[in-house]
Structure formats: structure tokens, C-alpha cells
Structure 1
């Protein structure tokens, strides 16, 4: 008689969900210490046979995509990142540090979504997905026998709603689930930002079954869950926020979103390292992953997409955290520049590409005599390793020594510049502060600095120069070869790409030494 196979114990990392057959002190995936605990017994794999299918397979050209068209949120900067708006049935994960403004932003989005729908057909489609079409169900609003709530009287608009979004449209119900705050606290915030609408429903819940019950009752087109780490279920072991709980909650919300055509937005916490708390599987399950960034001491907020199944992942949305809420910034470049009458040594302007959007930003440097055995190197808004490399190149290739001086480098407006195209502007700012010589206020610098002292071409130079010319800059220092087409032929001044900066004088350089010479002699 064959001996029955015994179940083996498994161990799982509480941070990332990595599994192993024996206990280890350090996770083999995320390298965290003391997070591997026993997860139970692993059952032998069973053979699964073919079963019934939910829908027949179709040639890809016959798949109907009309019901999955994106709908604008009403915030143009958010729509830019999402690829046009929110898609029915999509699950979006928005992560950010505490106090950055995630709840405020989503409360505004929920209020806008509850007062505007692209068309009555959209509302009818959602009602059909929820089983309320043709009067077969009951909606959350009186008189909504077809599942489509009635139009708000007077076409009332929200205070921060763009003028293009204030036209009369068919409102749709939106459900906001808060697990971190009470309903009264969220209401106070809604009063402050003017997000009070008749079709925005609010519930304070931390149990998954209660959340699903609210979805069944309200039948919304958009659900906001703030946050997924606070929602748990009694069906699985563990406290809310654990790996197993997050996986189970996310799987159920995704199932409901796909079955009913509901857009679900999940708020996610981040760890002190900046990663999304919970299993990595969560980022794989959702359709869109957004990061909400910004300095807590600055009004500027930015949203980046690191995953987007419905649009680009190289876009950036900029917002201003004002007293009336979070407002989109279609032209944020002015926030990163200092307005002054006379140029000051140690400053240089550059243009960085955040996704496909050029942003004009200022780099500032201060070089002062040090009274310490080891001079200080302090940075803010720039990569510390890149700053150290540029200082070494200045000392070795340009003979600008700073071994007895403190160096402080910063950006204006709290913006973080991670592109290598900032290297040249950083070098010019540090050199100007060292020799106490200022650059022209109408000059910008672009280029990556190499260890041999060369200045390398960076992508998108024409787009960067066009943005600088639009803001009134007259001179630019760029790597040689920047003003060439892909085939190596030079760009002509009549080219449409250059028409926006015809009056700009562009100086091409090969090395950092040459860039220093032409920059400090420019008018």
C-alpha cells in the first residue's frame, strides 16, 4: 500500500509574500530581516480538468471595445497621466506618503465623477452591468427606476471644476469608502474643498463584506477605497494590511470591478523606502499604478504612472495644493525659477523632461570655506551620487578644486531632478559659486557630464529648447550634435520643430572645459 504524501509546512515573508519550504532569517526576495513566518501547510497540487467557459473565445478583431472607452475625470492633469481618463472596469492603485494629499485628490475626483458622465449611454451601460436596466432593480436615488440617477438641478458645478467640465451632464453615483477616518472627518474635508454632491455616497467601513454590501446597494460607477491596507476580511487569517489580507481584498474588489464595469481606485500606503506596502502581487493585479509625490513643505504635487494598461507610463501630472483643494497646473515651470533683478553667482537654469513634459528648473549651488576636517556635501532635490561625480570631474578635468570647501546644492520649488541632463547646469552653478562669477539670466544649460570631462547628448533637446524659448531664454549651451536629425543631417531654422525658438542662440560644446568658457562669456 502506497504511503500517503504528508503536507509540508511553508513559510512566507510578511512584507512581500515570498514563500520558502524552510525558515530563514532573511527574506530571499526583499532582503528584509525577521519577516519570514510560518504560513501553514502546503497541500499537494491537484489535477484540474477542463470545464465550462464564461464566454467563447473570439478573434481579437471582433472584440467590442466601445464599452471600455476612457471617461475624463474632470482634472486635466490626472487625465494626462491616465491616458485620457478612467476606464470602466479598471482598478487603479494610488500610492503616496502620509499627508501628501491622496485623500483630498480622490475626494475631488469622486465629486467630479458624481456630477458628470460622458453621456446617458455610459450611465445606461453601467446600469445594465449592475442589473438595474429596464427597471429590473432599484438605484440609490428616488425616481431612478432604470438605475440612472436624475440630473442635478441647475447644473451646479464644483468650485475647482474646469469650465469645460461645468456643462450639464447625467450624474452617476460614486461610492467613497474610508477605512482610516470617520465619515464625519471626511465630510469636514469635503466641506473645505467644496466636494458636496447629491450622488457622492460615503461609508466608513473596514470589513470587506460590508464594502461589497455598499457596492450592491449604491450600484456606483466609481468606487474609492481609502485605503486597502485598512480593509480586512474574516475569511482569511491575519490582520488588515497583511500580505494574505491585502491579496484577498484586492482579488475580490478586482472581481467586482470586472464583472460590473465599475472603476475602482485603491489608496495604498508606502514604506519608509518609498515602495508600496504589501505584497508585490498587488501591483501586478491592478491595471494602473500611480505615485503621488511632493515635498510636504511645498505646495507642488506630482503624479507619475509606473504602470498603465490603458495609456503611457512616461507622463507627469502637476498639481497645486491650495486652500480650496488640489488644482491642476498646466504650466508649472514658473514654480521652479527664482525671480530676481540681477544674476547671482551659483545659479543655472536647465530643462528636464518629466515623461514627455519639459520643465524649466533652476539649480543653485553655494561653495563656502570649510572649518571641518571633512568638508560637507549637502544636496536637496538632486541625486547625491551624481553631485559627487560632477564635483570630482570639475576638480580633475577643470582644475576647480573644492577639497577645503563645503558644497551645498539645491533645486528651487522642491522639485526633484533625477535626469542626467542636469549635470551640465549643476557643474556651471558650482563653478560660478566657486569663482564668484554669475551666468547670464537668459542662459540655460543641457547635457550629461562624463567622467572624461566630455558633455554628452541627451534626448529631446529640441523639445527642451522650445520650452526655454517660450519662457524668454535667449542663450543655450548644449552638447555638440544636439541640433541634428536622426540621420545626422543638421536641422534648418525653417524646421517646424525650431520655429518656436528662432531667436535663441545655441552654443554646442564638446567638453565641460569648453562649456565653462562659452557660458561665462555669454552676454
Structure 2
């Protein structure tokens, strides 16, 4: 019997090499090349293209393609529907990643129950639990439906047969790293296995109109394990985030072919499972310390929804040669930029100060409209002078200290007024051509110096 050839595949980007190397030439990562057996050439003819494109193998004009607008299938979970762009699209392939124990399986089991209760066939395939273990978890979550089928299997061929037998509308794979293709001689979870199994599942979903949800493990850096190609193959990539020691969870879309990638869903983990949070702004502000220096509130847009969050700053003299700059939920480079603007344009001596910033509630903010709130928080902590607890700050700060206009200002101000804020400091260019709520005062500023005079008195 001839000796099987081996190859080395990068677990980060899928680069293949005949010999081991410490650094991957494809992506530059270190110690990611793993040894795998060369796949056995199969005599089976691949029919992926034909089935994916409904048997059309010749070019056709786009205007002559006939389509039928299918409504999205909505679950009873409004936050889940929001992140997906309004509901589940038939034939879509959705990848959900997150840390171990964060609640991925709980969320999908609850969604399965909601879909099956509407007489949609659901096949839940677990590669990590037995059928009895899944039943125990379902009983805890009060999940019970005659249209929900459970299968404990890791062989892709047997999974394919089960899908053909049950003909479900939805399939959930938990998780893709445990599934293996028998024709590929490598361990489950390897680059080749993950790539080929996902490709086969995509073929099944697209050809039969089945929505497939795939659970993916994450690495210690927080990225989904396996080749980067995995995220390119699927239609939607969702990340389930949150601290294991806190009850709130955030579902965020980083890729969505059928909706916005800026949407965010908030959930609370309880004994009976995950419950959606309808008004996250109240949650993020309920423990706010009023009258504390370095605390401001900003109205940030998460997709189509405004969310009010607290930004906290702590500025103190450094005991090191180089001052420290640390940020949680913010880009540390943006913080350094704003501190340079405050020092150059306002005259705050921050070059010998340590700065620690945090977004309360575990939310990550990356839009320019938070600049003004971050800058005022830093100045408030440096001067040890608190700003008003009923002020909300919105605006982008330029390198010359000017405050630039932001988008969707009306929605941001309305959310602030609904939560009882009395003043909104916004860019001067955003004033006009929209309806101002009655219970809030609008103050326009053109420079960051004006904002500091209004909020801190100087």
C-alpha cells in the first residue's frame, strides 16, 4: 500500500504548504501550520454549481431572471429578527460564533422552539451532546414541540440523509468543528473538514431552500476558529458577546447579505433561558453615578436603533516614563487622538497623565459621533469637575477642534428626551430641518471649547 502524502495547512487562512514553516506566507501568522493527510481523489462528480443555480449553466441577463419575493420568517424574538435584518431568509447560511458557555446553544434551541411552534420543521443536530442531554436542556428551557427533531451525529453523510428524510425548513448544526466528511482523511475541526463540510451544507441549503444555522467555536483572540474562508462562504456572520459573570449578552452582525451589519441585539440570561431587552438604554444607564467627574452620556446609533450609553474616564498623574492609555469598548487610537486635540487646542496638559476609559455595560462603540462625549469625559476627569447628569453629548471632533455634523440626529435626540435628559449638546450644523422634542433643550456648538464651557463652565 502506497504511503499517503501529507500537507501542512494554515488554520487561520487555509494556505497549503508541502513542508512545515513557522510563519505562514499567506497571512503572516506564527505556528498555525498543521499537518494533514492529502485527500483521496473521489470519482464522484461535484454537482454543487448546478444545484446552486437551479440547473442554469449558461449566462442569462439579470433583468430576465424571474424571482418570487418570499417574506422573511419571523421568530418570536424581536432582537434576533432585528440582527438578521427583519427575519430569517429561506436558503440562507448563518454562522454564529462566541465564547464557550456564552449561550449560543441556548439561543438556537429557543429559536428552534419558536419556529417549530409555528409548524415549521426544525432539525437540531448536536455534535457535542447526546439526544438525552439535549432533552434535559430543552426541559430546563421549557422547549417542547412535535415539529422539532433532534439528532446527535457528526458524520456529514448521515446528516445529509437525515435532512432528506425529515425535509425540515430549518437546520441547526452545533457545532461545525465537530462535523466531519468521511471522504476527507483529516481530523474534525481541521481546515479541510470545516471548509468541505460548510460547502456541502451550503449546497443543501441553497438547493432545497433550507435555512441553516451553524455554530462556530472562537479562538482565544475572539475570532471564529477555522479558515477565514468560512466567513466568506456564509451569508451572515453573528457574534454572541458578553461577560460570563454578567447576565447581559449582545448579539452583533459583522456580515449580513440580507440586512445591515450595524444592528445589535441585547439579551438577558436568566434561569429559563435568554430574554430580549426591549430598551437597552435604560439597562446601560441604570447604575450610573450622578455627579461623578469623568462621566458623560452619548447617544450612539447601533444599526437603526439609538442607544444611550455612559462613557467613563479616569485621568491621573503617571508614575511611569510614558503615560498609559487604556480603553475598554473604545478604540485606544481614537482616545489618543482626542487627548492630543485637547492638549493642543484647549491647553490641557495631558502628556504626563495616565488615561483609562470605559464604555459602561460592555458595549463597543466605533462611530465618530462619540468623539465629543469622550473628549468631555477626559476633560471632566482631568479637572475633577463633573458635568450635568441630564446632559447628552453628540458630535464628531476634528483635528482642529471643530465639532462636525453627525447622521440621524433626530432619532438620537428623541431617545435622549424619552429617557428624561434635559439638554443635548450637538453640532451647530445639525440644527434645523427636524422636529425638536418639547422636553429637551438643544444647544449647538461649533468647537470643542464651546462644549467644555457649557458642560464644565470653562
| TM norm structure 1 | 0.77
In structure 1, the partner of 2:435 is 498
Report the CA distance shift for 1:400/1:97 in structure 2 as closer, same or farther (over 3 A).
same
In structure 2, the partner of 1:262 is 210
Report the CA distance shift for 1:65/1:446 in structure 2 as closer, same or farther (over 3 A).
same
> Following superposition of structure 1 onto structure 2, how do residues 67-466 of structure 1 map, counting pairs within 5 Å?
68-116=70-118, 171-339=119-287, 342-466=290-414
Runs of 5+ consecutive residues of structure 2 not aligned to the other structure = none
In structure 2, the partner of 1:148 is none
In structure 2, the partner of 1:141 is none
Indicate if the aligned counterparts of 2:260 and 2:303 stay in contact, CA closer than 8 A.
Answer: no
Counterparts of 2:200 and 2:108, CA distance in 1: 21
Counterparts of 2:36 and 2:112, CA distance in 1: 41
Q: 1:15 aligns with which of 7, 12, 22?
A: 12
Q: Secondary structure at the match of 1:181?
A: coil
Aligned-pair CA distance for 1:418:
2.0
Counterparts of 1:310 and 1:375, CA distance in 2: 45
How many matched pairs? Answer: 443
Q: Secondary structure at the match of 2:296?
A: strand
Counterparts of 1:199 and 1:334, CA distance in 2: 37
Q: Secondary structure at the match of 1:209?
A: helix
Indicate if the aligned counterparts of 2:249 and 2:266 stay in contact, CA closer than 8 A.
Answer: yes
Aligned-pair CA distance for 1:22:
7.8
Aligned-pair CA distance for 1:55:
5.0
Aligned-pair CA distance for 1:65:
4.1
Mean CA deviation greater in 269-278 or 29-38: 29-38
Aligned-pair CA distance for 1:271:
2.1
In structure 1, the partner of 2:448 is 512
Report the CA distance shift for 1:179/1:56 in structure 2 as closer, same or farther (over 3 A).
closer
Counterparts of 2:323 and 2:29, CA distance in 1: 34
Q: Secondary structure at the match of 2:114?
A: helix
Indicate if the aligned counterparts of 2:7 and 2:19 stay in contact, CA closer than 8 A.
Answer: yes
Counterparts of 1:67 and 1:453, CA distance in 2: 49
Report the CA distance shift for 1:22/1:339 in structure 2 as closer, same or farther (over 3 A).
closer
Q: Secondary structure at the match of 1:426?
A: helix
Deviations 1:5-61 (A, max 9, x none): xxx998643332134688754323321124346875999xxxx9xx99835877656
Mean CA deviation greater in 421-430 or 373-382: 373-382
Report the CA distance shift for 1:219/1:40 in structure 2 as closer, same or farther (over 3 A).
closer
Indicate if the aligned counterparts of 1:475 and 1:506 stay in contact, CA closer than 8 A.
Answer: yes
Q: Secondary structure at the match of 1:481?
A: helix
Counterparts of 2:40 and 2:73, CA distance in 1: 44
Indicate if the aligned counterparts of 1:290 and 1:305 stay in contact, CA closer than 8 A.
Answer: yes
Mean CA deviation greater in 353-362 or 172-181: 172-181
Report the CA distance shift for 1:289/1:378 in structure 2 as closer, same or farther (over 3 A).
closer
Indicate if the aligned counterparts of 2:40 and 2:185 stay in contact, CA closer than 8 A.
Answer: no
Counterparts of 1:184 and 1:75, CA distance in 2: 26
In structure 2, the partner of 1:474 is 422
In structure 2, the partner of 1:166 is none
Indicate if the aligned counterparts of 1:12 and 1:39 stay in contact, CA closer than 8 A.
Answer: no
Aligned-pair CA distance for 1:108:
0.3
In structure 1, the partner of 2:55 is 54
Deviations 1:306-342 (A, max 9, x none): 3323333332222222222111222211111145685
Counterparts of 1:213 and 1:350, CA distance in 2: 52
Aligned-pair CA distance for 1:413:
1.5
Q: 1:26 aligns with which of 23, 26, 35?
A: 23
Report the CA distance shift for 1:318/1:65 in structure 2 as closer, same or farther (over 3 A).
farther
Report the CA distance shift for 1:355/1:340 in structure 2 as closer, same or farther (over 3 A).
closer
Report the CA distance shift for 1:434/1:341 in structure 2 as closer, same or farther (over 3 A).
closer
Counterparts of 2:254 and 2:328, CA distance in 1: 24
Counterparts of 2:57 and 2:320, CA distance in 1: 74
Runs of 5+ consecutive residues of structure 1 not aligned to the other structure = 1-7, 117-170, 484-489, 492-496
Counterparts of 2:172 and 2:444, CA distance in 1: 51
Aligned-pair CA distance for 1:293:
2.1
In structure 2, the partner of 1:165 is none
Mean CA deviation greater in 280-289 or 508-517: 280-289
Indicate if the aligned counterparts of 1:478 and 1:507 stay in contact, CA closer than 8 A.
Answer: yes
Counterparts of 2:402 and 2:230, CA distance in 1: 43
Counterparts of 1:17 and 1:455, CA distance in 2: 45
**Which one has a bigger Cα radius of gyration?**
1
Aligned-pair CA distance for 1:435:
1.7
Q: Secondary structure at the match of 2:406?
A: coil
Indicate if the aligned counterparts of 2:96 and 2:239 stay in contact, CA closer than 8 A.
Answer: yes
